[in-house]
Chain A
């Protein structure tokens, strides 16, 4: 065996704390190591060329690179070995950066640890075998989960590229949060005017199937071959008959909370969220319907001209197959009432969230675009905006910046002047103004100068009611003074939180999420729209808070990645999978019981003699069967028991 070891400086990232020359020198003393060198940047072109040259010149049959995390560059170096004429699976990586140089400061300690890590990698390399990929057929249909602007953009891009797309949306209409917005910053474009034509495009596109009022129930399979159970929720209205005439909504006697209008005013038990809904179909909120709660009424059934009401409807599961999945489930508004007791916990009528104010400003909202006090219906004379409610506030568990609130507050402040009158007093309490997008800073300046909105730098400590006003008590940290403003209306720039159910969906898709419920991208810079589960992609605010331009850009990026994936007719599968030594198999079938992918089957090796067999294209290489087999006859390629034990033994040896 002829092993080559390459120790990377990574500039000073590794060489700053690890004596790379010493590690490379020591490696030469290891059994089977015939070549060792240290390279400034191993991943660079000259670095990779050096590896390939050594493979040729020194006839290396194993390569160990001591550098960064395999999550960073394992693929890079496998490809490098492949091009150098070595089977890519005869490569092993020693992580001496993330797991060593970056977490230690003293050179002798870090050097010794790096040396241990290299020894372990060499020990593992000795156990590696050449592996060869298989190919599987690819299903070219795409599932887009979520029909907000991210899902809409991704779906249209994919459909335009000729791929069949299914959009699954849990509400009765697509459009997401953007459909609720009045205007968009910094151009004051009408949100609906931009969005609704795109919604209609989705409904009419020959390559898009719209599944509204549906949820993803179960996901199985793998990249290129996912099987998804989609739950069609019972709307109690036959959507093949419903024409969206809204007569049932007008006649329904039962009131129900209106989530589309953020509970500003009630809607009816049978409802259509907004006039431009796509699809425009009615649904019954059964928990508020008189027929379902009291056993009488059935008014909607009587008035429906299309005979579409069906009280007997049940949830239905539809199974579909896809090659790739785009997750675009968006976000929710931070539930400020639960955490900000100093702001009245939602009990002060004239303190509302940013999204509620958006609905109030909207011409199709409950007040027809008329800004008014919720306590008495009068026009407000003084409006106060408070930024960073549920953002940049560790006391409520939200240390991150929601990235959109500074801008939407500036927009709403401008619109307040526009709707109520230029003589309205408008204040904005802020910590910092974050206006980093194109034209954003100029927009905020315009709001301050041209529209005379007064920006006060400081936090608001308390809101309370006094003499029919909302008293806003805070500090002006620039003047170093306490301020108190008697406001008619207070709008909280409520931050972004992850969508309810995000965690459950992540678990169905086997993708990672952070402590706030935002989905984790493959790599923040190099794989921003992929997840660590092949074939599952991200778009929009489900990954992190972002505004509409960034969401749309990311959704198009996601679409291009999916198109790239599905451009191939066959996909190479990972060869690091389980294999059964059938000679020793005792046919206990425990492996079949534990396999999460149903990748193990009974194979008739001789008439009447059944042994365990791993289906290569289905196995995902988790190794659960390997650890379960009572006679140790299953091995996991790339992670054999010998490879694991040799690493442990090597590092513990004197």
Chain B
């Protein structure tokens, strides 16, 4: 469970964090809602918007389903970054699930550095089903930000 190099990821070294930041690519967990951001990532795929390969997505019905614990668990298990994305405010498939999510993640974002995790390793945002380009931008920028910090050394949690 410790923060070690995965055999698969090290095989993909060419897509890895450059320089001295570490010898393995960063691994990022994304938790996305089914209706907007997962579909937005689909849209990006259909249009072949290239993205860095460091992200692994977990699909949930709604960002309102996400327990902040999921993000903390990911960090505990060695994730270098956690990205959460859902529908834009007002556009939730379930009307208001993302409003509950917003409260939780705003709070988590503010307190996460108390756990020894720089806030640049955590991001929550909105990407709609039609925003393939925005998805590409969000992923690319977030991965670049985490790569700048490099893989996490040791266990913060």
CB within 8 Å of B: which residues of A?
A: 69-72, 95, 97-100, 102-106, 108-110, 112-113, 115-117, 120, 506-507, 510, 512-515, 520, 532-533, 576, 594, 596-597, 620-624, 626-628, 636, 639, 641, 644-645, 647-649, 651-654
Which residue in A513, A514, A623 is a CB contact (below 8 Å) of B64?
A: A623
Residues of B within 8 A of A532 (CB): 35, 39, 93, 129
**What are 26 residue pairs bridging A and B, where the CB atoms are less than 8 Å apart in the complex?**
A69-B42, A70-B59, A97-B45, A98-B42, A98-B45, A103-B49, A103-B50, A104-B51, A106-B15, A112-B53, A113-B12, A113-B53, A113-B56, A120-B58, A514-B130, A622-B62, A622-B93, A623-B64, A624-B96, A626-B67, A636-B61, A639-B65, A645-B70, A648-B58, A648-B77, A654-B6
Residues of B within 8 A of A515 (CB): 130-131
Q: Contact: B131 with A624, CB < 8 Å?
A: no
Residues of A within 8 A of B143 (CB): none
Q: Contact: B77 with A649, CB < 8 Å?
A: yes
Residues of A within 8 A of B95 (CB): 510, 596
Taking the nearest CB of chain B, how far is it from the CB of A25, in angstroms? 14
Residues of A within 8 A of B9 (CB): 112
B121 close to chain A: CB less than 8 A: no
Interface string of B77-88 (1 = CB under 8 A from A): 111000000000
Q: Contact: B128 with A624, CB < 8 Å?
A: no
Taking CB atoms and an 8 Å cut-off, the chain B residues in 123-140 that contact chain A are 128-131
B41 close to chain A: CB less than 8 A: yes
Q: If A97-B45, A653-B1 touch, does A108 touch B11 (CB 8 Å cutoff)?
A: yes
B66 close to chain A: CB less than 8 A: yes
Bound CA–CA A639/B64 (angstroms): 12
Residues of A within 8 A of B35 (CB): 512, 532
Name B48's closest neighbour in chain A (CB-CB).
A102
Interface centre among A100, A627, A645 (most CB of B within 10 A): A627
Taking the nearest CB of chain B, how far is it from the CB of A298, in angstroms? 42
CB within 8 Å of A: which residues of B?
A: 1, 4-9, 11-12, 14-15, 27, 29, 31, 35-36, 38-39, 41-42, 44-46, 48-51, 53, 56-62, 64-67, 70, 73-74, 77-79, 90-97, 100, 104, 128-131
Q: Contact: B58 with A644, CB < 8 Å?
A: yes
Name B6's closest neighbour in chain A (CB-CB).
A654
Q: Contact: B62 with A624, CB < 8 Å?
A: yes
Q: Contact: A652 with B59, CB < 8 Å?
A: no
Q: Contact: B65 with A623, CB < 8 Å?
A: yes
Q: Told that A103-B49, A626-B65 touch, could you supply 6 new A-B pairs with CB distance under 8 A?
A: A95-B42, A514-B128, A620-B94, A622-B64, A622-B97, A644-B31
Residues of B within 8 A of A644 (CB): 31, 58, 60, 70
Q: Contact: A653 with B97, CB < 8 Å?
A: no
Which residue in A71, A636, A641 is a CB contact (below 8 Å) of B42?
A: A71
Bound CA–CA A302/B81 (angstroms): 73
Q: Contact: B64 with A627, CB < 8 Å?
A: yes
Residues of A within 8 A of B130 (CB): 512-515, 520
Q: Contact: A652 with B96, CB < 8 Å?
A: no
Bound CA–CA A622/B33 (angstroms): 10
Q: Contact: B94 with A116, CB < 8 Å?
A: no
Residues of B within 8 A of A72 (CB): 42
Residues of B within 8 A of A654 (CB): 4-7
Residues of A within 8 A of B8 (CB): 112, 115-116
Q: Contact: B42 with A99, CB < 8 Å?
A: yes
Q: Contact: B45 with A648, CB < 8 Å?
A: no
Q: Contact: B15 with A109, CB < 8 Å?
A: yes
List of 5 A-B pairs having minimum Cβ-Cβ separation, nearest first: A98-B45, A623-B65, A624-B64, A622-B94, A514-B130
Taking the nearest CB of chain A, how far is it from the CB of B87, in angstroms? 8
Residues of B within 8 A of A120 (CB): 56, 58
Name B100's closest neighbour in chain A (CB-CB).
A624
Q: If A116-B8, A644-B58, A648-B77 touch, does A624 touch B97 (CB 8 Å cutoff)?
A: yes
Which residue in A104, A510, A624, A648 is a CB contact (below 8 Å) of B50?
A: A104
Name A596's closest neighbour in chain B (CB-CB).
B95
Residues of A within 8 A of B51 (CB): 103-104
Name B31's closest neighbour in chain A (CB-CB).
A644
Name B5's closest neighbour in chain A (CB-CB).
A654
Which residue in B12, B27, B65 is a CB contact (below 8 Å) of A627?
A: B65
Taking the nearest CB of chain B, how far is it from the CB of A67, in angstroms? 12
Bound CA–CA A576/B60 (angstroms): 11
Q: Contact: A594 with B100, CB < 8 Å?
A: yes
Residues of A within 8 A of B67 (CB): 626-627, 641
Bound CA–CA A545/B92 (angstroms): 25
Residues of A within 8 A of B129 (CB): 512, 520, 532
Residues of A within 8 A of B94 (CB): 510, 596-597, 620, 622, 624
Residues of B within 8 A of A112 (CB): 8-9, 11-12, 53
Which residue in A110, A512, A651 is a CB contact (below 8 Å) of B53?
A: A110
Q: Contact: A510 with B65, CB < 8 Å?
A: no
Taking the nearest CB of chain A, how far is it from the CB of B157, in angstroms? 13
Residues of A within 8 A of B45 (CB): 69, 97-100, 102-103
Q: Contact: A636 with B65, CB < 8 Å?
A: yes
Name A533's closest neighbour in chain B (CB-CB).
B93
